[in-house]
A and B are shown apart, each in its own frame.
Chain A
């Protein structure tokens, strides 16, 4: 009985490698499967251009898509549990607003890709740091953290507006606007190393503590009475989640909806137990972003910003889930 939910979820773990391979194959320049394998595993044979395309361009980009999708979805699921609120997403604590301001500032100063990433990452941490300072005064209570997140987000949005206002409307303003739409066109080996390292660490952490995260969905008194050090645990989840999101945004810009919708789909599939929810969310997030980024690269003659696609797909998906939820309640009453 208890295992009836999500018997089919294992399919997902085969799907992610398959979609990853598709992402390597499909593109403006079509590559056959055997050529791809030769380029990946027998680097001496085959053309240098092909090899460069796959190994230097598509491979890091597909890795970035998979990592960012996994991070957004996994952190979204974790934060929804931690805040005991299914409408929360991974940006609740102001990560994205801080990152957007940092990136805009770097673009204004023409700081280059590394500078942009560093600035975006740093300001994302500053934003969440401010929220945590507010929250810690009140024992890291979810309500205080959410209000802190709203305030800090609004503040950094105002600062972002200021940067846009003073930016050159012919050069830096368009690049700021474009960055804010999200996209993986800057994903190269050199730029994704911090993302890969942090993702690996975050995966280990979230997979290790995933069952215990169920206890965080109880009230603080209940969770403490079950022997869990609630505040310490909350802070650890927030710190790890923030690092993952900050690293993701620094590479991919603002990519919405994955962190909200994917955990809901996962929960509808395998139930709310974080023991299953976390792995299924991260795999589903990786799969979703691999598909969407492949579409972003190939659907139109010029690239579609990824944040637009996630919105176009995420909003109807969320609406359908919400309808399902309303119908289920209607039947229950």
Chain B
């Protein structure tokens, strides 16, 4: 599945100001068509890792490579054409249309003084088509559902031209159907060669949708590899501090449940 390495972190160590290390010697790599899930408890450094991977934060040690090139040597506009950040859905202050939100993804392709034209709107239409939101282009972004917003933010990353998308908890606040739609879209795009790093609080989503899983515990990569081999009862307990059962149901289907009080 994995061809060339697209995005890699080598010995990445990061701290805010002079504080303690939030990330310690993180080494991961994402190839073409790869979906890497990053799991970890609250405060384990997942969002910081995405910020570093997209080049927004300079590490204290180690480096991030985008297509083999140190990311801090790539001009910010060029970088934005290759790697995109898909943030958690949020309530924007102004009531932009879905089309206008996706159009902002064209910023790296437009000069400081330029305004978007036909070509940019075509890119918006293509991106919306891919995520299945073509009909929502003129709708107000604040009035569509959470799942649709998350898909629109993916479309913005596509309009950006980025082939590597970093998603911060895309399933947060979504019902099971919308979670599935978002991850099914991710899987489909991965089939077309797009690469994803996805942070999540749902080990079961990782089982279902990830090619590989990394556990981030206190800023360190505790385990990385195939979902079935990484998502063990021992690793889950190390990450979250409570006990879990990994239930096998035959035909390779598994489910992860916290060991509850109701037996």
Chain A 250-293 near chain B by CB (<8 Å), digits 1 or 0: 00000000000000000100011101000000000000000000
Per a CB cutoff under 8 Å, which of A81, A84, A215 touches B104? A215
Q: Which residues of A contact B85 (CB under 8 A)?
A: 221-222, 225
B87-122: CB near A (< 8 Å → 1, else 0) gives 100101111110110001101101011111000000
Q: Does B84 sit within 8 A of A, measured CB to CB?
A: yes
- For A219, the closest partner residue in chain B by CB is B87
Residues in B neighbouring A217, C-beta threshold 8 A: 92-94
Alpha-carbon gap, A117 to B94, bound state (A): 36
Complex Cα–Cα for A224 and B58 (A) = 13
Knowing A212-B107, A218-B104 are in contact, say whether A225-B96 is a contact too (CB < 8 A): no
For the complex, is B77 an interface residue (Cβ under 8 Å from A)? yes
Q: Is the CB of A221 within 8 A of B93?
A: no
**A211 and B54 contact, CB distance less than 8 A:** no
Complex Cα spacing A214 to B99, Å: 13
* B181 is an interface residue with CB less than 8 A from chain A: no
Size class of B's contact patch? 35 or more
Residues of B within 8 A of A215 (CB): 104, 107
- The CA of A120 and the CA of B104, in the complex, are separated in Å by 39
B54 near A225 (CB under 8 angstroms)?
yes
Decide if A324 is an interface residue (CB 8 Å cutoff): no
Cross-chain contact B115 with A221 (CB below 8 angstroms): no
Residues facing B in A214-243 (CB within 8 A) are 214-215, 217-219, 221-222, 224-229
Report yes or no: B87 in contact with A226, Cβ–Cβ below 8 A: no
Q: Is there a chain B Cβ closer than 8 Å to A115's Cβ?
A: no
Bound Cα distance A156, B56 (Å): 37
User: Could you tell me the distance between the alpha carbons of A271 and B103 in the complex, rounded to whole angstroms?
Assistant: 15
Q: Do the beta carbons of B112 and A225 come within 8 Å of each other? A: no
Nearest residue, chain A, Cβ from B157: A225
Give Cα A2–Cα B98 distance, bound, in whole angstroms. 9
Q: Which residues of B contact A225 (CB under 8 A)?
A: 54, 56, 80, 83-85
B216 to chain A, nearest CB (A): 19
Smallest distance from the beta carbon of B100 to chain A beta carbons, Å?
Answer: 5
For A219, what are the chain B residues with a Cβ–Cβ distance below 8 Å? 87, 90
Interface check A86, CB cutoff 8 A: yes
How far, in angstroms, from A222 to B115 measured CA to CA in the complex?
Answer: 19
- Closest approach, in angstroms, between the C-beta of A283 and any C-beta of chain B? 18
- Distance (whole angstroms) from the CB of A281 to the closest CB of chain B: 13
Query: In the complex, which residues of chain A have a beta carbon less than 8 angstroms from the beta carbon of B92?
Result: 217-218
Minimum C-beta distance from A226 to chain B (A): 4
Contact of A2 among B54, B76, B99 (CB under 8 A): B99
Q: Do A226 and B108 touch across chains, with their CB atoms under 8 A apart?
A: yes
Asked if A272 and B94 make an inter-chain contact with CB atoms under 8 angstroms apart, the answer reads yes
B258 in the interface (beta carbon within 8 A): no
Cβ contact within 8 Å between A211 and B115: yes
Q: List B residues 121-153 near A (Cβ within 8 Å).
A: 137-138, 143
A222 contact set on B, CB distance < 8 A: 85, 87
- Whether the pair A227, B96 counts as a contact (CB closer than 8 A) is no
Interface set, chain A 1-45, CB cutoff 8 A to B: 1-2, 4
Interface check A208, CB cutoff 8 A:
yes
Give which listed residue, A208, A227, A229, contacts B81 with CB less than 8 A. Answer: A227
In whole angstroms, what is the CA distance A86 to B113 when docked?
A: 24
A212→B93 contact, CB < 8 A: no
Is B79 an interface residue, CB under 8 A from the partner? yes
Q: Mark B7-32, 1 if CB is under 8 A from A, else 0.
A: 00000000000000000000000000
Closest to A332 in B: B143
A2 with B138: CB separation less than 8 A: yes
A229 and B76 within 8 A (CB): yes
Q: Within 8 Å of chain B (Cβ to Cβ): is A177?
A: no
Residues of A within 8 A of B104 (CB): 214-215, 218, 226
Complex: how many Å from CA A84 to CA B96? 13
In the complex, are the beta carbons of B138 and A1 less than 8 A apart?
yes
Interface pair A226/B107, CB less than 8 Å apart: yes
Smallest Cβ distance from A118 to chain B, in angstroms?
32
B72 at the interface (CB under 8 A from A): no
Assembly CA distance A75 to B94 (angstroms): 17
| C-alpha spacing A219/B92, complex, angstroms | 9
Give bound CA distance, A209 to B111, whole Å. 9
Nearest residue (CB) in B for A272 is B94
| Known contacts A222-B85, A225-B80, A227-B79; A214/B96 CB under 8 A | yes
Which residue in chain B gives the minimum CB-CB distance to A81?
A: B94
B residues less than 8 Å from A272 (CB atoms): 94-96, 100
10 nearest interchain CB pairs?
A1-B138, A227-B80, A227-B108, A272-B94, A225-B85, A227-B77, A208-B113, A226-B107, A211-B115, A84-B93
Residues of A within 8 A of B (CB): 1-2, 4, 81, 84-86, 208-212, 214-215, 217-219, 221-222, 224-229, 267, 271-273, 275, 332
Given contacts A2-B100, A227-B78, A228-B76, 6 further A-B contacts (CB under 8 A): A1-B137, A211-B114, A224-B56, A225-B85, A226-B107, A275-B115
User: What are 30 contact pairs spanning A and B, CB under 8 A?
Assistant: A1-B97, A1-B138, A2-B137, A84-B93, A85-B93, A86-B93, A86-B94, A210-B115, A211-B115, A212-B107, A212-B110, A214-B100, A214-B104, A217-B92, A217-B94, A219-B87, A221-B51, A225-B56, A225-B83, A225-B84, A227-B76, A227-B78, A227-B107, A228-B107, A229-B76, A271-B96, A272-B94, A272-B95, A272-B100, A275-B115
